[in-house]
Amino acid sequence: MKHISVKSLGPIKEANITFGDLTLLVGPQASGKSIFLQLIKLLVDKKHIKRTLQQYGFIWGRDAAPILDRFFGEGMSGIWTEDTQIIFDKKSYSLNHLLTKQKDNTAKANETLFYIPAQRVVCLQNGWPRFFTDYEDSVPYVLRHFSETLRLLLERGLDKADVIFPQTKRLKQPLRNSFNDSIFHNGKIVVDRTSKKRFKLNIGRSSLPFMAWSAGQKEFMPLLLSFYWLCPATAVSKRDFVKYVIIEEPEMGLHPEAIKSVLLQVMDLMRRGYKVIISTHSPVLLEFAWALRYLQQNKASTRALADLFGLKNMPPSMRDVIQSVLKNKTINTYSFERAGAKVKVKDISTLDAGSSDEDIAQWGGLSSFSAKASEVVSKVSSDEE
């Protein structure tokens, strides 16, 4: 997966994106980021998606419109029209790509892209992942499949443990410590089996059901399970066949320190060989991209990147993560910009604050308020003098 060109897809007028080891997408709400990311999932994993839907009793069919509604969500079939042009890794895709073919064998189709949707907390509505078929037709496929993946992860292994977090065989110790310090604060996540299975957070003498957790803890829980799924508790470093990971808005509900913890885990995913795509509204992720680019250009030491995250006395496994990202990984950043009813996508990867292009200088709008605040304070200070 190297490059994609899209024209006239939903609100997106034009997009040309080259993927890095980490690709960041920024832009206001309703600018087409989710549609774009779900499109990538559909192109990469169509056969696996078709097999999964049929496995749960859905009909794929021979008409593109209901297929689009079933995948993107009810009422979304109009986003892909006859004017839509898609070129993905030099191959052109039309609506005919979605239709059933006689030789379209899905029996051995493997998932190659794992998608973590923005609405992920919905799948833990009652403190346990919901079944694939529990959702209404309006729900996009990516949320159904995500929920079912977490449910199966728990049913087939994790729920045999008394404690879901922390687990010594899951994630690297510095990452577990970081999640503990920034999110769970010495609390333990356990499975309550007294009636229906559900998560509880034990802190001191308190045992809190899922709905009593903080917003950040609830938002992070499906992310934590995703990281467990992507990082097997074996000598194997990654999931078979899975090459790509999409994460929508990983910062939701999280304090900046917790976002830094998530970034450390993303770096570990990159070290394991996954290519990661993230949509975000958080300047923290772009600050990381800007700092990493600067450190790489100036051939900084591993210690410099470790200091960015406050890492001290790193074990060799974490040092390898830092060194791999600093020496070998690329980050590309793109801004989804609205111009009336349409959206154009711009490469802002340099993140140069001194650029004459405001979209680059203001990081797709994520640093514009900070810049304006500095300007206003500076002006008031000058006036007072």
Tell me the C-alpha distance between 140 and 70, whole Å. 7
| E-only strand ranges, the chain | 3-9, 12-18, 22-26, 80-88, 91-93, 113-116, 163-165, 188-192, 198-203, 206-209, 244-248, 275-279, 331-339, 342-347
pLDDT, position 126? 85
For 136, the token pair is: 């209404």
Tell me the whole-structure pTM to 2 decimals: 0.94
Q: Specify the fold of 3-351.
A: Rossmann fold (3.40.50)
Exposed (0-12), middle (13-18) or buried (19+): which is 96, by Cβ within 10 Å?
A: exposed
In contact, 98 and 110? CB cutoff 8 Å = no
Half-sphere exposure of 132 (CA within 13 A, CB side): 17
Closest CA to 250 of 276, 209, 278, 230: 278
Q: Distance from CA of residue 290 to its chain's centroid? A: 19
For 26, the token pair is: 């920024």
% helix, strand, coil for the chain, step of 5 = 45, 20, 35
Domain segments of the chain as ranges: 3-351, 355-385
pLDDT, position 168? 83
In contact, 367 and 373? CB cutoff 8 Å = no
Exposed (0-12), middle (13-18) or buried (19+): which is 150, by Cβ within 10 Å?
A: buried
Tell me the C-alpha distance between 266 and 253, whole Å. 17
Walking along the chain (385 residues) 10 residues at a time, the average pLDDT comes out as: 96 97 95 97 96 92 91 93 95 88 71 97 92 92 97 81 86 93 95 89 94 95 96 82 97 95 96 97 95 95 93 88 95 93 94 92 83 72 66
Amino acid at 208: L
pLDDT, position 36? 97
The residue with tokens 């496994």 is 317
- Concatenated DSSP letters of 327-373: HH--EEEEEEEEETTEEEEEE-TT--TT-SSHHHHTGGGTTHHHHHH
pLDDT, position 367? 81
Which phi and psi (to 5°) does residue 209 adopt? Answer: -70, 165
| Residues facing residue 122 across a β-bridge | none
pLDDT, position 200? 95
